[in-house]
Structure 1
């Protein structure tokens, strides 16, 4: 995936990142769902987010770093001192580990690997999304 502007044609899925040192994972794991609302940056990406678009839930800074869930955006981002977007993300029984994702050559340059400290939302392009979808649990 190359660094470029996101468009409706290039977007595969949004990626919401969660740092468990800042956001407690235990209640989400117990519920089997990620929180419904997530902070996002005030930028052009956020303005492209729309209900129904796919979203992946990436857990960073964790021994089992990777994609822990998937779902859809359920609303448009809400502006404010801290912008927020609503989601419906089910967590998997076991995460798709970053090491497994990175071992797939076509996914080794995903934005979450290249710019792990970047603010939400991150993204995967349409071609990477097609590959990621085949790796996700049913």
Structure 2
């Protein structure tokens, strides 16, 4: 069996690079490590970090097909971020103009969580713990 060490990164393709870059850096607080323009693809790629750890690749492409998020579609369900206080983090998102669902409680762990979306409708979660 292969011995995985950790998750290296999550790749996200966006429809409006400037809007998504601002969302992930200014609203969610990820740090821009590097940004590359790939002329042959007419595509930007940003490497973003959370607490100094590289976690997200943000891509742009000239033509991208829409991906269903709701109703539940097959594939990756959502990207979850751990926070100390889900209510405080939820309020910060709402203060930034982000629509956030109500806080729920995980029936198995007792932890609080809530969902919101990035500018392209990608489902994101805040999970307390």
Tell me the TM-score normalised to structure 1 length: 0.28
Q: More strand per residue: 1 or 2?
A: 2
Higher RCO, Cα 8 Å, sep 6+? 1
Tell me the TM-score normalised to structure 2 length: 0.29
